[in-house]
Amino acid sequence: MSNEFIFGTQIASIIVFVLTLFGIYRSLVSQKDSVIELLREQSRQQENKILELQNQSPDVLSRQLSERVEIALKEIERLSLDGGNHKKEIFKKEKELKETRAQVYALAELIEDSALVCPQCNAPLSTRSFEGLYGPNGEGEAEISYYDCGLTIADGSEMSPCKGKKP
Whether residue 88 lies inside any domain: the answer is yes
1-22 residue pLDDT tens: 789 999 999 999 999 999 999 9
146-167 residue pLDDT tens: 888 888 887 777 778 888 765 4
Same domain for 97 and 140, yes or no, is no
Residue 116: DSSP 8-state: -
Length of the chain: 167
Full residue range of the structural domain in which residue 78 is found: 57-113
State pTM to two decimals: 0.34
Number of structural domains the chain divides into: 2
111-121 residue pLDDT tens: 666 666 777 77
**What is the rounded distance in angstroms from the CA atom of residue 73 to the CA atom of residue 70?**
5
Domain stop point among 93, 113, 133? 113
Q: Please give the pLDDT value at position 21.
A: 96
Whether residue 83 lies inside any domain: the answer is yes
